[in-house]
A and B are shown apart, each in its own frame.
Chain A
Amino acid sequence: MKYIDPHIHMISRTTDDYQRMAQAGCVAVTEPAFWAGFDRSSPRGFFDYFTQLTEFEPARASAHGIRHYCWICINPKEAEDPVFAREVMSFMPEFLERPTALGVGEIGLNKNSRNELTIFEEQVALAADHDQLILIHTPHLEDKLKGTRLIIDALKSRGDIDPGRVLIDHVEEHTVELVLDEGFWAGMTLYPDTKMTPQRAADVIETYGQERIWINSAGDWGTSDPLAVPKTRLEMQARGHAAVTIDRISFDNPNDFLRQSGKFLVDA
């Protein structure tokens, strides 16, 4: 069995994690640019971060037989200062051209503020100008429903964004239908405290179907589990789901979405 973890922050994980993921069947990961748990002191901090994502991390992953791809952006938790955010955006295009950069992400909202929304919209415009895929972070907890609505409204109001090239991540039971009904892709994040469990993810698949939906661990520096995707595969297997369904959620669907970048390549 092979699987893809399409959202995991490997720079926060050890080489042991790569080894365990490879043993569990992981053949590719994609790593969105995000917050590091602290605010970078200057835009140059992002230049170094994007260099790490596009140079160092693919090499580290390939030592374990895992292909590493990434997404480039200024994340919503550090987007409250528009001057700072625009300076980061000024050098995003050169990184988007790199062979393992799949698109703009994870952009989105955190506290649903005006500045966050402005920088989100500007990065959607940047993605549209450069014909990039978009990966979207939705806020946590009480902010998720409102943030998801604001994000969908902003995307639809442009009129030139193909929802089939946008994945809206961290959906839960109250947002998954909003996302799928508008034609976007939906990501379910298996994150113990604030998002989904393997059981609830399997429930969502049973309730809303297997079209345009993927699962990921979002493993990072917090309480998270880099083996959450294979654990969800086992949960679905225990419930009697067909192997083809399990593979679809954890391999074929992410493969179909990510291949639209023209860069993502994984052996089937």
Chain B
Amino acid sequence: MSRQAVVDRYFMEHRAKLLDVAAFLDRVERGGAEGDDFRMAAFRRAVAVLAEPGASRARRILELLSDPTDTPIDSAAGLKGAFGAYPGGETPA
């Protein structure tokens, strides 16, 4: 698809998604003045990637949200799900 065709087809949908992100950030602020947990810290870094030049933004954001270590953890006992961002030692509230 041409650049113009992509914009014509998807602009309205992604305008709405952009507003969802903006409203989500507002909602977080309204929830109190305490600092971000590791997920929101990662989210804000990911939002900054959106404004960077070049393609592969989806890939770069996924990498930014990934566990960067390369050795297996000692045990998965009691762990099933994932958080969506790498705690890096912290655990979510």
What residues make up the interface of A, taking CB atoms closer than 8 Å to B? 77, 80, 110-117, 139-146, 149-150, 172-174, 199-200, 203, 238-240
Q: Interface of chain B, helix or strand or loop or mixed?
A: loop
Check A145–B67 contact: CB distance below 8 A.
yes
* CB-nearest residue of chain A to B88: A142
Chain B residues with CB under 8 Å of A199's CB are 10
Check B84–A80 contact: CB distance below 8 A.
no
- CB-defined interface of B52-90 with A at 8 Å, one 1/0 digit per residue? 000010110011011111101111110111111110000
Q: How far is the CB of A102 from chain B (nearest CB, A)?
A: 27
Check A139–B59 contact: CB distance below 8 A.
no
CA gap between A150 and B14 in the complex, in Å: 35
Q: Interface of chain A, helix or strand or loop or mixed?
A: helix
Query: Which are the 3 A-B pairs with shortest beta-carbon distances?
Result: A113-B76, A141-B82, A111-B76
Check A172–B62 contact: CB distance below 8 A.
yes
What count of chain B residues pass the 8 Å CB interface test? 28
Check A113–B82 contact: CB distance below 8 A.
no
Which of A77, A139, A149, A172 contacts B70, CB < 8 Å?
A: A149
Check A173–B56 contact: CB distance below 8 A.
yes
Check A145–B63 contact: CB distance below 8 A.
yes
Q: How far is the CB of B81 from chain A (nearest CB, A)?
A: 8
Chain A residues with CB under 8 Å of B56's CB are 173
Q: How far is the CB of A81 from chain B (nearest CB, A)?
A: 8
CA gap between A200 and B76 in the complex, in Å: 31
Check A140–B82 contact: CB distance below 8 A.
yes
Check B73–A113 contact: CB distance below 8 A.
yes
Which of B70, B74, B76, B83 contacts A146, CB < 8 Å?
A: B70
Check A142–B76 contact: CB distance below 8 A.
no
Chain B residues with CB under 8 Å of A142's CB are 65-67, 82-86
* CB-nearest residue of chain A to B69: A146
